Structure formats: structure tokens, C-alpha cells
Structure 1
């Protein structure tokens, strides 16, 4: 499945003005990186994928439409998938983009 180009464009808009943003195709989608660290991605599996503070994973996945990412059969703390319904409006998208940006910005640049 190809990533949602409309979602990617909306993410690009939400990230405008954020310093150090770059784009890179990865994980079958289009990722937006801060200082070389992935913040958010229009996922090739649908919806948004983002990084967060691993310790916040349980709290964030308690919300409807948000789950941990499974990579190679392993559930990953600090990696979330957010359904399209959760990011359908600009406020929902901005909220989750901020989670990813805040975490990526806390990491040392690559």
C-alpha cells in the first residue's frame, strides 16, 4: 500500500515553520525528520506513524484509534500508529504532529 499523499501534504503544512525538518521515504511511507530523527510519517500501511517518549506509550494508546507499532512481530514502545479518523481534522493532526516533533526535538541531531 502506498502512503496517503494528502496526509503527507497536511503534515508538511503542519510542520511549516518548524526548524530542521527534512523528508525521507522510509518504512514504505514518507517520514518527516527533525535533526535527522523521525518525528512523524505518512505510513505505507495507512494512517500516521510517529515517535513519542517510550514511557508515554501506555497513556497515549489508551486513546481510541492509537496503537503501538508492531515491527517484525514486536510491539514497540515509543512508536505509535494513529488512525486516519483521529487526524481527520486539523486540530487532531496538529496534536499528534506535536507529539512526534516534541520527541524528535528532544533527541541529539544525527
Structure 2
């Protein structure tokens, strides 16, 4: 199992009204890009959220949340939420909305296309 399909469907339901959402399989899971920016993802059975780095320390105090350290390097602004932290619809919405709020001001992770050299 690369990622939890039920969790992926929960995310899809939240994004159904949004335009400019794309899904990409990466990091052994599924990533939801919004406006060409990484927004949320699913790795195994956990939700990954890209949030405002200024809210990071507060976020990791919440039950079931920890700093993402996918490459063994903690990444401020990226959190992982295990099932206990998103069991209720209210908690799940909290994380999704935190990621969507930050997406408005997040920088695109899209690399600019290289200009051909002559």
C-alpha cells in the first residue's frame, strides 16, 4: 500500500469545488497541488500539510501532529498528521483549511523553465 485511498478520497471531497487541483504521485504517496503549489499529500496513512511556517510550532502541539522529516531533515512548514489528529470532520477540516490558507501566499515549487542557450 503506497497511500491510503480512503484518506485520498476524503481530500478529494474537500477539493471538489476548487479549480486548478492536480494530483501527483511522489514521495511514495500522493500529493495534491493547488495553483501549481504543493498543498497537501498522503504518505501511507498520514496526511501531510504545507502550512505557514510561522504557525508550525503551534501546529505540532496538536494531538497527532508532528514535523515532517521525510529526508531525516525536519522541514518547518510541513507537518504530518496521523489518524488520531484528523479523526473528526472538524479536525480534518482544520488541517485542510490551514494548508489552503497558506497556499494563497506560498511560493510555487514549480521550477522555472531553463532558457535555451545559443
| Same-fold call, TM cutoff 0.5 | yes
What TM-score, normalized to structure 2?
0.84
Larger radius of gyration: 2
The aligned residue for residue 65 of structure 2 is: 66
Larger helix percent:
1
Residues 43-79 of structure 1, C-alpha deviations (whole Å, 9 max, x = no match): 13x3100101111110110111111001322111000
The size of the alignment, in residue pairs, is 109
RMSD value over aligned CA atoms? 1.5
Structure 2 unaligned blocks of 5 or more:
111-118
The runs of at least 4 consecutive aligned structure 1 residues that moved more than 3 Å come to: none
Structure 1 unaligned blocks of 5 or more:
none
Q: CA deviation at 1:105?
A: 2.4
Q: Which has the higher contact order (CA 8 A, sep 6+)?
A: 1
Q: CA deviation at 1:4?
A: 0.3
What TM-score, normalized to structure 1?
0.89
